[in-house]
Amino acid sequence: MASTALQESKWFNLIRVILNAAVLVYDYIVNQNRSVLLHCTDGWDRTPTISSLSSLLLDPYYRTLQGFESFVHDVRSQEDE
């Protein structure tokens, strides 16, 4: 089977790593009652992505349409500062 440019980009691997990290943050906070400090050491800006996904997992309100709109608005407002 010929590989596609998407497969060669390893994009799916990056998505898997980010989703696994967000689930790990959720597990630490909810199941292990621990605090979490996120820091990306390789300069790929994964920290805000993992933080945002973790927030969506942790707060059921953000998983509603109104909550998601509010979440996106809040994140966008922080970018403007």
List the binding residues: 40-46
Nearest-angstrom CA–CA distance, 22 and 50: 5
Which of the residues 23, 29, 36, 40 is marked catalytic? 40
Detail the residues annotated as belonging to a binding site for substrate. 40-46
* Whether 40 is catalytic: yes
* Contact indicator for 21, 50 with CB cutoff of 8 Å: yes
Catalytic amino acids? 40
